[in-house]
Structure 1
Amino acid sequence: MPSSSTDASLGQMLWRQTWPMAIGVLALLGFQLVDSAFVARLGTAPLAAQSFTFPLTFLIIGVQVGLGIAIAALISRALGAGETARARCLGSLVLMVGSVILALLAFVLWWSQAAIFSRLGADEATRELIRDYWAPQLLAAWLGAVLYFFYSLFRAHGDTRLPGKIMVITSLFNLLLDPLLIFGVGPWAGLGLPGAAWATAIAFASGLLLVAKRLRQNDWLARDGLRRELAGSARPFVGIAGPAMVSQLMPPLASMLAISVVASLGESSVAAWGLASRLETLALVVVLALTMSLPPWLGRCYGAGDWAQVRQLVRLALRIVVGWQLTLGLLLALLSPWASQLLAGSPDVRDDLTLLIRFLLPSYAALGVCMLVVSAGNALGWPLRAMLMSTARLFLCYLPFLWLGASLGGLPGLAMGAAFGNVLAGVVAWQLMRRMLARRETGADTESKLLPRERT
């Protein structure tokens, strides 16, 4: 059993790795929530239009996070095994390949927007609002994805401070641009809803300039040997990135199905659901920071074969997640009327948002457990199990109870069903992680042996 002093030492190390990412993610998600609050001042219709785009924006984020997981896992494993030359080649390859993949995805989403949004339940007037907003929003999403790949490269090398700082800088820049581009200044009337997307695009572009300047000071990229490295690392990269992307794509797909259910409840419910989605990511800031800072550390332990420290790190991270999220969720549930008043403009939207906060926010303690288990599974050579866990969370736990609750009780039933699904998923994920670690320590695990840790 680990001593309390060992736990304290690991806790300090985990804190040093996590707090810069937590501040950065808090700033990034905070500006997104404020962005939606600004849009809410334009009216319920623009806010509902923006809410319909969230599942597709999450789709892009899912692909970028899946690729980022593979970046961090492979590079950190190579560094843990002392293969610095290989780590440089991997860094160059994943930056180039990831940027191209996300550009192609953004083009497909722009080209097929009419069919997608009509199937999600957006009427003609809402689709007209989306049409002007969607192109700059896709540009912003692509710039954000490329910036995230750079963040993943820094995290794989153990640097979480720079990504955290740049997240804060870009978020502040976005907050300054939002009111200017949305509402205008002086005689200029502003761009309305598209102004929110342009503000984000400009902020992310500035972040790319900053991180590229810093990257030139580090010897983390290579120009030679890329073709050879691509041939040797394509299989393990796909073995991690494929299941990881599928895992990350499940939430956007579930979000599309969820918003189609919410759309049947009315425009104010859609608007409230969009604000609740923004608030969800902000409330999960510590979990998201841990899913960024913990996997590279776990990957290095994996490369070194130190499974005792893996167990200690996972247990410590899970305790932090449950304690923090439960406290925060209960506090926000108590303050839900004031939070809704601050975020929403319409009284109907405020009432619906208050209801969603009260039921959903406390359940994020269990949701955080599931997210951390999926992230750790990808880093520890269990991408297939992580993918299955992510799929089960959404399609066996979350969506069925959400749909059943909405069918039986409208928006209150939907909120209760979604909360119950989160709790159920958290319990299942914890049991799965316990079994995976036990099987690995007894030598009974087989999946992690399918993915080569290093290339000889």
Structure 2
Amino acid sequence: MAIGVLALLGFQLVDSAFIARLGTAPLAALSFTFPLSFLIIGIQVGLGIAIAALISRALGAGEDARARRLSSLVMMIGGVTIALLGVLLWAFHVPLFKLLGADAATLGLIGDYWAPQLLAAWLGALLYFGYSLFRAHGDTRLPGKMMVLSSVINLVMDPLLIFGVGDWQGMGLPGAAWATVIAFSSGLLIVGLKLNRTDWLTSHQLWPEFLRSAGPFAGIAGPAMVSQLMPPLAAMLAIYVVAGLGETYVAAWGLASRLETLSLMVILAMTMSLPPWLGRCYGAGDWTQIQRLLHLALKVAVVWQLALGTLMAVLAPWVALTLSGNPDVQSELTLLIRFLLPSYAALGVCMLVVSAGNALGWPLRAMLLSSARLFICYLPCLWLGSQFFGWWGLVAGAAVGNLLAGFLAWQVMRRILSRPHRQAGFVN
């Protein structure tokens, strides 16, 4: 999963690097779309968390027939939900991006890019739900391989569609979205064929299962989606603050956002692969194994992110030079890398605790922790820093917010693991 996440997030960073070669304006336009793109991803991940949790619990309890019914239901419900969200985001994209601070010229660039990007997001969501089924059944190899394959396809198509070939001048910014459409369509075709060869789906007894599982599913998916929607909402507020400083800062912030997700690849891989394992232990009542798994995961998160963050802080000027050709953007991005990446050790702890909470029957606690991370720790520190010290203060404030969130999550996890049977509430 770590290899797959690296490939998937790597091609998103490659998108940004290619678009940066088009100029600061297209890169700033792309950066404005990140919060709404994260909104879609947040909902699909929230649904995916519920998928993995309920199916893995059913499998852990030996209810294979129910697992098949749940798999079929979530694929249908998830696809329709993301499609409706995409239609709404297209219908209201102009006022939404104006609220984020985009001017008329930027709105023109966004308008050409947003429709194919929404199509790509829907295809990516369907692909993600398919990955969730494989992960719930203990297969992380196929999702990892497919992430690598789709990344390679995107990497090949990006320069062709953005810059063109021969006499064809290319599409510019929309070319990046169409490259993603092609990559995700290819992956979805292969995953669909693989699913067709399994016995994980069924068309029988879906309505009774829906009535039975709607409550437990909503009990997990609702708080999980709210937790996942908090980061895009916080990202919208953060980019609003950054936009007040100027277009160069927005461009640097957008590149740092892509670099953030790439640097968190191991954490993201664990948030995908750990919950099904925890869910099976939860279904079997094996709390000793749950405690061992979580302690190991938190140790790996801290050690890995500190080592990576320190290395990236040293290499920050060269990384910025690779990602942007604009000297001003390079300077601001270097500062972001040096402050933020080491602080992701604490952020990783918080992400794992939230993920574990959703898998272990504590979705409300996970949602509250996610909310506290963003709206008590991260955004206030970021805003206060920008008000008193400008760009430097904003960057330092974001790093301090991550550290506070990590400390809070560690205290929450220690308290929960000290009395697991009393804290947990089993969800059928």
Q: Which residue of the other structure, out of 33, 38, 63, is the alignment partner of 2:13?
A: 33
Separation of aligned partners in 2, 1:428 and 1:195 = 42
Q: Which moved more, 1:387-396 or 1:401-410?
A: 401-410
Q: Paired residue for 1:261, among 241, 252, 262?
A: 241
1:162 paired to 2:137: no
Shift of 1:412: 0.9
Aligned match of 2:77: 97
**Match of residue 196, structure 1, among 159, 176, 194:** 176
| Cα offset, 1:438, TM superposition | 1.6
- Return the offset for 1:452: 2.6
SS in 2 for 1:444: helix
Residue 452 (1) aligns with residue 414 (2): no
User: Which one of the candidate residues 377, 389, 404 is aligned to 1:397?
Assistant: 377
Indicate the residue corresponding to 1:15 in structure 2.
none
Secondary structure, aligned partner of 2:166: coil
Q: Give the alignment partner of residue 285 of structure 1, picking from 262, 265, 280.
A: 265
Choose the corresponding residue for 2:306, options 306, 321, 326: 326
Tell me the alpha carbon deviations over residues 393-419 of structure 1, each in whole angstroms, 9 at most, x when there is no partner: 000000000001111111111110000
Q: Which residue identity does 2:152 align to in structure 1?
A: L
Q: Report the equivalent of 2:219.
A: 239
Output aligned runs, 1:116-135, within 5 Å.
Answer: 116-135=96-115
Tell me how far apart the structure 1 counterparts of residues 3 and 184 of structure 2 sit (CA, whole Å).
17
Residue 48 of structure 1: aligned partner: 28
Shift of 1:32: 0.5
Structure 1 residue aligned with 2:39: 59
Which residue does the alignment assign to 1:359?
339
CA distance in structure 2 between the partners assigned to 1:346 and 1:406 by the alignment: 23
1:70 paired residue number: 50
Distance in 1 of aligned mates of 2:36 and 2:18: 21
Q: Which residue of structure 2 lines up, in the alignment, with residue 317 of structure 1?
A: 297
For 1:209-220, what aligned pairs fall within 5 Å after superposition? 209-220=189-200
Within 2, Cα distance between the matches of 1:298 and 1:399? Answer: 31
Q: Does 1:179 align with 2:159?
A: yes
| SS of structure 1 residue aligned to 2:169 | coil
Q: 1:148 aligns with which of 119, 123, 128?
A: 128
Q: Any idea what the Cα deviations from partners look like across 1:223-273, whole Å, max 9, x if unmatched?
A: 101001000000000000000000000000000000000000100000000
TM-score if structure 1 supplies the norm length? Answer: 0.93
Segments of 5+ residues of structure 1 without an aligned counterpart are 1-20
CA–CA separation in structure 2 for the residues paired with 1:45 and 1:155: 39
The number of aligned residues is: 428
Q: Match of 1:18?
A: none
Structure 1 residue 434: Cα displacement: 1.0
CA distance in 2 between partners of 1:89 and 1:134 (Å): 35
Hey, what's the Cα distance between the residues in 2 that align with 1:216 and 1:123?
Answer: 47
C-alpha distance in 2 between matches for 1:216 and 1:140: 23
Q: Residue 89 of structure 2 is aligned with which of 109, 120, 123? A: 109
Listed as ranges, the matches of 1:271-282 within 5 Å are 271-282=251-262
Amino acid at match of 2:8: L
Question: RMSD value over aligned CA atoms?
Answer: 0.6
1:137 match: secondary structure: helix
For residues 425-453 of structure 1, give each alpha carbon's deviation from its aligned partner in whole angstroms, at most 9, with x where no partner exists.
Answer: 0010011011112222xx432xx42x533
- How many angstroms apart in 1 are the aligned matches of 2:167 and 2:92? 36
Q: Runs ≥4 in structure 1, deviation > 4 angstroms?
A: none
Q: Which runs of 5+ in 2 are unaligned?
A: none
Letter in 2 for 1:415: V
Q: What is the match of residue 413 of structure 2?
A: 433
Q: How far, CA to CA, are the matches of 2:121 and 2:310 in structure 1? A: 32
Which of 276, 279, 287 is matched with 1:299 structurally? Answer: 279
1:452 maps to amino acid: V
Can you list the C-alpha shifts for 1:313-359, whole angstroms capped at 9, x where unaligned? 00000000000000000100010000000001111100010010010
> Equivalent residue of 1:189, what SS?
coil
One-letter amino acid of the counterpart of residue 403, structure 2? V
| Partner AA of 2:301 in structure 1 | V
Is it true that 1:388 corresponds to 2:368 in the alignment? yes
